[in-house]
Every structure is written in structure tokens, then in C-alpha cells.
Amino acid sequence: MKVIYSNKLAPRRRRPWAIVIGPGDELELFAGESIPGKVAVVGRDYKKNGVWSHSTYRLEVAEGIRFLHGHFGFETGTFTEGLWAATGQPTDRWHEVANALGVSLPVAQEFLRGWLPVAAQKLDQVEADLASLDEASPTGATTVSITYGAPTHAARERGFWEWPVRILDEDGEEVGRVSPGGEPSGEVKVLKRETSSGYGGGYVSLILAVPEGCRAEHGPAPGEKTQAEQEAEERLVAAASEWLQMYGQNAVHVATKDYPYGRARVLAYAETQGCPIPAEYSRRASDLWMFLNEAKSLAQNQSDHPLGRARHRKE
């Protein structure tokens, strides 16, 4: 079988790899030279282009031999990601890597430990984490996947990228979580974490080891406020307070009035009263009502305070 193979770097300067598989249960790296009985280098062309210099090989591959090639992963820079891209098969665990390569597990492990010891150590850690969780959990362990990302502007304002991934049991009780930075706590192990580019900050994908029957959810934790939410509340209080101080009783009237109509007419009414709503809280109806409610609450608190009542009588 004729094969054309180029060892040119891929985008992000990702290194190429080529593996000769077979005959039978064997693996061998292709390093640009013929491998007797397996691969013959019939021709080679070289193109000089700085860091992008490369060779293109014309190969004759023996019957029963599989010539598998690809690049290290685009997102993580790992061989396992590149192997997944080349084969379309999962490669997160040792047995999956062996299946993708089409050899036995011992052969896959010996090959990877000799060629890429760090990659082998990561696969070992995945197996160790799964075994640890399986022993610790009375129901045993399973793996779940979750991907989140591409948040809207409104979601980012609420602290989307500060929300954890929560591990919930069958009753909805939290048994563990993964922080936005990927740190696990409780009954969960992070087997794999990948990020990719995209709208609103991109995407995060996780493969987790969790107790049997549990699920993973990304979102706000009940009763916990993100830093973004705290800052938004502080800005709201400051803006409403400044608005009340600037426009006095007219602003109090606008804030406490009951409105039977929508955002546009409320904004117009505030203009006629000489106290326009700040631009930050006038674009969406939800923001407008939030601002007016906060201003109303502040005005009521001031009127309930003894000094506030005294000022009101004086006025």
C-alpha cells in the first residue's frame, strides 16, 4: 500500500508523529527510515522553510501493517488528544488508548512508557483516581462528562466563570465540586480538563470520576454569591443612592410610583420628572426594575430612619 506522509509541524507548532502498527501485536515509531519487513521509504522530498521546514515521504507499507500518523493535540498539546483526532476513538484511559492503537494493553503501555513517559504517568493517574474513588464510595465509581461555555453577556455579569461544577447525588444533594480553575473537592476526581476558544471566553470540558448515580451540573451554588454578583450589587446600590441624592423628591416619586406600562414609557416618565435613569440600568427591562426597586428600598429606609424623617419634615 502506498502512503504519502509529511512531518510538517501543524498550527501552534504541534509536532507530528507516525506509528507503524503490526504485524500482530507490535508498535514502532516511524523516524524517517525504512523498517525492514514493514515500511519502505521509496522517496523523500525536503522543503526548507525555517521552523516550517519538513520532509514528505513516499512510502510502501507492507500488507497487514497499519501506518497511523497525526499531530500532538490542538488544545492540550498531548498525544492522547492527537490520537483521538487521528482515530475518532476515546483515548482518556489506558484501555481506550490500546483500542485506538489496535494492540493489547501491555504493548500499548510499554510503547508509551518508553516514548512519552509523562503521558503514561497521566494515564496512570487517571486509573489511580478512579480506583481511589471506587474504593471510597459505597456505591462504586463511574465517569461523567460535562462541557460548558459561550456565556451571554448577562451570564458573565452574574459570574458565569466563577460558578463551580457541582456533583449531585440522586437526591440532589451536593457531594463534591470542581472549582472554576479545575480543583476538585469532596467525592470527585478530575480525570481530564480541556479548554477551547469560543464566544464569551470559550468552553471548558471535563471528564470526572464520581460516585455511581451522581451527575455533574455547572451553575451558581445556592446561597453563594460570586465576586461578580457582589460587585454588581455594590454598583447598583451606589448608582441608586447617587441618583436619589442628585434628584431628591422627584427621584423618590419615580422610584415609588406604580407603573402599568413598560420600560420605554417608564424611562420617558423619568425624563419628564427631570431625573433620567442611568444608562447602565436603562437598556433592559430587568435592569430598570432592579434599579427602581433598589432606589425604592433606599428611599424607604431613609424615610424610616429618624434623621431621614426629620429631613423630610423640614423639606
Instruction: Assign 157 a pLDDT band (cuts: 50, 70, 90).
Output: confident
pLDDT at 307 over 50: no
Q: What percent of the chain has pLDDT over 70?
A: 94
Going by pLDDT thresholds of 50, 70 and 90, the confidence category of residue 139 is: low
Which range (59-63, 81-85, 95-99, 227-231) has the least confidence? 227-231
pTM here is 0.57
Position 138 scores a pLDDT of 63
Give residues with Cβ within 8 angstroms of 310, minimum separation 6.
none
**Confidence class for position 303, pLDDT limits 50, 70, 90:** low
Rounded Cα distance, 172 and 178, in Å: 16
How would you label 228-244 residue by residue, b for 16+ Cβ within 10 Å and e otherwise? beeebeeebeebbeebb
Question: What are the grid coordinates assigned to 171, written together?
Answer: 437526591
